[in-house]
Amino acid sequence: MRHIAVAGIVLIASVAGSSFASAQTADNSPVEWPVYGGDAGGSRYSPLTEINKGNVAQLKVAWELHTGDVSDGSDGRPKSEFEATPIVAGGTMFVTTPFNRVLALDPETGKEKWRFDPRIDLHVRYSEGLVNRGVTFWSAPGDVQTGTCHQRIFLATIDARLFALDAATGNPCGDFGSGGEIDLKQGVANITRPGEYEETSAPAVIDDLVIVGSSIADNDRVAIPDGRVRAFDARTGALRWSWNPLQGDLAPTAPTGAGNVWSTISVDTRRKLVFLPTGSASPDYHGFKRPGDNKWANSVVALSAGTGELVWGFQLVHHDLWDYDTAAQPVLGTLRRDGGETPVVIQGNKTGNLFVLDRETGKPVFGVEERPVPTSDADGETASPTQPFPLAPPPLVSQHLSAADAWGITPEERDACRNQMEKLRSEGIFTPPSVQGIIAFPGNVGGMNWSSGAFDSGRQIFVTNVNNLPMEVHLIPRNQYQPVEKAAQQGALRAEVSPQHGTPYGMSRQVLHSPLGLPCNPPPWGELVAVNLSTGSIAWKVPLGTTADMTANAAAIVQGTPNLGGPIMTAAGLTFVASAMDNYLRAFDTETGAELWKGRLPAGGQAMPMTYRAGRDGKQFVVIAAGGHGKLGTRLGDSLVAFALP
């Protein structure tokens, strides 16, 4: 499940797919960013070098666009989350707003060419708030590029519709579905209310297929919609195949659902493979109605693009009880070690574990071992006796927190945290939820979230942003749940609560925090981490962001904040990332982690940046959505900001 509630952190005191991914470019010809992740395999890498370590400190704002789409929740609409990453394809930039509108822009000036409004209902209680991460560009083969809609923009909306738009005009393609759209809710069982079954990420395309997963409110009850992934004909919208992640020990008899793909899908165009990061089965924190490992939830899965048949699957968490989704986009790259080259899938998880798998077989490159983990004391629950741990790289975040580790900005704050932590069960990362309460660490917002990471194949360095954010989780006996839910609704309880209907327990979770609202673990609470994949070792770690924008007390500023977004990398040895709870886009030295530049943003930058070259002079731009994030609690806005050299 993606839903987060980090705004509880309050300072009360105040490769595959695109040919350009590995080639250096020396002329001034356009270099685009045609897919959400830079290329179809999600490497988030650009060959551009105009902006480099020697001049990056000179970056200035080149243009800024205000979309007009922002909501602070005061008028009954959900809060907005501007998480979109633009693409540049066919000479045009395409970006989505939190209201799911599509804007086509001149990439050199930011001037609007056209816009499309799917007219979602802005007052529905969407599980994920008002959000959309981006669109996908598709072009028909060269021999059939005639008439309208031979180049299409695919948009999947928060109200679960799939649109095909003419890339030149923004008009719906009438030959796709019904008047240019498909209702993705059709044929999906167990949808009980608007806003329960959603789309938040950009679709994937391969050949003549457009592929979508779904975002589902997965801790409400046992019987929720299933997490099927579907491929549609890119021209007509006809369903070509459908794949359900919950197979084997559950399907088709168990009532559970989800296991859905709410994050970004990657594809290998040469091998004709589709790579899916799957979430948890429902509900998150109690699994007596879903015994066994729950394959293929919490996994990375390779499907045949043409048929949707399973090629291989690798499960990162068995029988998930912590909302440890595989939320990060699979990153496809080539690993060089021992004198050879291996095509791999680099897959992170909320646990902070990073798995490097052979792309063709799914076998771990560095080895994985099953280790014993704690047993559950909850009625009806049988936790998995073991969980998989990669032998390399080591965990990217800490995976154990006890009362002895309590932290506070003052001795009184630390003591309050310690007293609370002593009441909670804490036996490492896979401590099963209980009525007593547990410390879930790094927690459901922790480790690698949807931010994912970037891979520089030349340097063999993978960089990702991570969270170290402990959650206090309680199971609530069914006969005690209603008063807890009422207290949360009235604001008397800070926690997020969920009924988990069909199980003996409801659930509550919140950031494990001090009286002032600060996390009870030592900072940094967010970091940027680089991994040398040739050796399977961590190259460097640095805190990401500060709390300077959250407090007027200079003595209380903490290095390293919770973050959502993601990095990109360039051939010049730069890593660009925003994501943190202060309002900056930063550039780091990919090889050392040194911060080389930061540019002030008008609002929170909870999105992945992107870069491209455009215009007659061949100027390189770096662009980031700066609109903030309602749940994370950063400053809201509606800006798309482009930086370039003077």
Q: Which residue numbers are catalytic?
A: 323
- 455 backbone dihedrals φ, ψ, rounded to 5°: -130, 125
Q: Please check whether residue 478 is in contact with residue 199, taking contact to mean a CB–CB distance below 8 angstroms.
A: no
Quote the strand ranges of 278-412, DSSP E: 299-304, 310-315, 331-337, 340-348, 354-358, 368-372, 386-390
The beta-strand segments (E) located in 55-178 are 60-66, 80-81, 87-89, 92-96, 102-105, 112-116, 130-131, 136-139, 151-156, 161-166
**Whole-angstrom Cα distance, residue 520 to residue 512?**
6
Distance (Å, whole) CA 285 – CA 472: 12
Q: How many CB atoms lie within 10 A of CB 378?
A: 22
Of 533, 623, 629, the closest CA to residue 80 belongs to: 629
Residue 223 DSSP one-character state: S
Q: Contact at 8 Å (CB) between 32 and 612?
A: yes
Which three-class secondary structure state does DSSP give residue 21? Answer: helix
Residue 15 contacts residue 525 (beta carbons within 8 Å): no
DSSP state of 281: B
Q: How far apart are CA 439 and CA 429, in angstroms?
A: 9
Q: How far apart are CA 50 and CA 25, in angstroms?
A: 10
CB-facing half-sphere around the CA of 309: CA atoms within 13 A: 3
Look at residue 88 and give its three-state secondary structure: strand
Spatial CB neighbours of 296, under 8 Å, sequence gap ≥ 6:
245, 246, 247, 259, 278, 310, 313, 315
Cα separation of the two ends of the chain? 43
For residues 627 and 80, the answer to whether their CB atoms sit within 8 Å is: yes
318, 272, 323: which is closest to 299 by C-alpha? Answer: 318
Contacts of 339 (CB under 8 A, 6+ apart): none
Reference 601, options 546, 641, 569; nearest CA is 641
Please give the single-letter amino acid code of residue 560: G
Q: Do 331 and 43 form a contact (C-beta atoms < 8 A)?
A: yes
3-state helix vs strand vs coil in the chain, percent to 5: 5, 35, 60
The residue count for the chain: 646
The C-alpha atoms of residue 440 and residue 433 are separated, in whole angstroms, by: 8
For residue 466, give Cα distances in angstroms to 503, 579, 607.
32, 10, 14
What letter does residue 271 receive in the DSSP assignment? T
Helix (H) and strand (E) counts for the chain? 2, 42
Contact yes or no for 171/179 (Cβ under 8 A): no
